[in-house]
Structure 1
Amino acid sequence: MRKASRLFEIIQILRLARRPVTGAEIAGQLEVTVRSIYRDIAALQAMRVPIEGERGIGYILRPGFTLPPLMLSIEETEAIVLSLALLERTGDTGLKQAAKQVNRKIAAAVPEPLARIFSDNALHAWGTAAPAPEAIDLALVRRSIRDEQKLALDYRDELGRATERTIRPIALIYYSATANIVAWCELRQAIRNFRADRVEHCEPVEEFFSGEGEKLRQLWVEGWQTGSGAAG
């Protein structure tokens, strides 16, 4: 998680808390070290965010501090809630957990009786849910797309042939059965699609393709018209 996002999340955690929250609890929620949280809280306090407390005891956000509201209409808010419900049908466990957190934040921010609509699950998305892939964390793929970082895959194609690939991930497509990673494959020297459920191992490579992501996505889109898209 980038520092800017982490600072925002710390404010949200403290804003929604009903008691002092320790650095260890915040670190556990954000999956970072406690030392990082201490540095982040010091940075927020330097920005005059009214956080009080100390290490080992816990932190609180003084009443009256709010982030700028999005000013969403009821219909816009309901659209977001229903979209979050649709994430339950993906196999991305990280996004499903994030969707639950967003729902809680929306319910905490809106007035009654609108909050009851969200807490009572009045809006539903129905259908088959895709299983989470066993050998790859889709949160890692999404992070690699954002950071333009290469991934190393052990991959088995539809015929059962095993290969090792280094890819430059540029997009992630969610289908009802699985998720597809769209990437530039350094082995094939072309855009390829990789089914997440056929990945047998995945880890980041300490190499980046900074500044290339948008151009590769344009190349991918151009392939839609020519029909040049191909499986891994």
Structure 2
Amino acid sequence: MRRAGRLFDIIQALRIAPRPITAATLAEQLEVTVRTVYRDIATLQARRIPIEGAAGIGYVLRRGFDLPPLMFTADEIDAIAVGARLVRRLRDPGLQDAADAVLAKITTILPDRLRSGVAAAPFFVSDGSAAVPEGIDLSDVRRAIRETRKIRITYADAEGRRSHRTVWPIAMLYYVDVTLLGAWCELRRDYRHFRVERILTSTLLEEVFPTAGGKLLEGWFVLQQSRAADGKLFG
């Protein structure tokens, strides 16, 4: 979790807490160390957030404090509501949970008159038909993309033939009926796209791959555009 998000979550936890919360409890909720919580609390206090308390006793947020309300236009609120519902239909549990968390945060800090526009928006998005991946955690894939880490996979093609590959994950492609991993394949020495439901096993490696100053992604993007123009779906 990024620090900005963690600071926000600390404020939210203190806002709804009926009694003082210890740093140990916050650390467990946020999956960080107690020392990190102490630093974050000190940062918030330095920014004049009225947090009171001490180590070993617990912390409270002084009554009456609230975050400045976010101001959105009607179209922006509609975009948030529709966007979150679109994410929910992806076969990516991590992103689904994140979409719900975003809606919860936004509805908490919006003025009352705007909350229903997000929480109970009259927009309905159809379910996707992409298969649910069982051999790979898509949260690990997105992490690997961010951290430029290699992934070792066992992959089955359309005929069921298996191969073992080490890939450099570059991008995720979410279609209604299929989810693809765009990557550089060490076995084929070329760009490849893998249907995530055909990945039988996967291991996130510590080894990082070179990005060639952005040229690796640029090369994939050019290829993706070319094939998309030809109406081809990567498999």
2:80 aligns with 80
2:156 aligns with 156
Q: Greater CA deviation, 82-91 or 135-144?
A: 135-144
Partner amino acid for 1:66?
L
CA–CA distance in 2 between the matches of 1:71 and 1:129?
A: 35
Gaps spanning 5+ residues in structure 2: where? none
- Cα-to-partner distance string for 1:203-222 (whole Å, 9 max, x where unaligned): 22111235447322210122
CA–CA distance in 2 between the matches of 1:150 and 1:109?
A: 39
CA–CA distance in 2 between the matches of 1:60 and 1:100?
A: 26
Aligned pairs for 1:48-127 (under 5 A) are 49-54=49-54, 58-62=58-62, 63-64=64-65, 66=67, 71-127=71-127
1:219 is aligned to 2:219: yes
2:207 aligns with 207
Q: Alpha carbons of 1:109 and 1:189: their partners in 2 closer, same or farther (altered >3 Å)?
A: same
Partner amino acid for 1:64?
F
Partner amino acid for 1:202?
S
CA–CA distance in 2 between the matches of 1:215 and 1:61?
A: 48
Higher alpha-carbon Rg: 2
CA contact (8 A) 1:10 1:26 kept: yes
Gaps spanning 5+ residues in structure 1: where? none
- Cα-to-partner distance string for 1:141-191 (whole Å, 9 max, x where unaligned): 111111212222122222212222221111101122332111111121111
User: Cα offset for 1:18?
Assistant: 4.1
Alpha-carbon RMSD:
3.1
- Cα-to-partner distance string for 1:91-142 (whole Å, 9 max, x where unaligned): 1111111111111122122223321233334332223354532221111111
Q: Greater CA deviation, 152-161 or 5-14?
A: 5-14
Partner amino acid for 1:113?
R
Q: Alpha carbons of 1:134 and 1:113: their partners in 2 closer, same or farther (altered >3 Å)?
A: same
Q: Greater CA deviation, 51-60 or 131-140?
A: 51-60
Q: How many aligned positions are there? A: 230
CA–CA distance in 2 between the matches of 1:122 and 1:178?
A: 27
CA–CA distance in 2 between the matches of 1:74 and 1:204?
A: 42
Q: Alpha carbons of 1:140 and 1:42: their partners in 2 closer, same or farther (altered >3 Å)?
A: farther
CA contact (8 A) 2:77 2:118 kept: no
Q: Alpha carbons of 1:203 and 1:127: their partners in 2 closer, same or farther (altered >3 Å)?
A: same
Percent of counterpart pairs with the same letter?
Answer: 44
2:139 aligns with 139
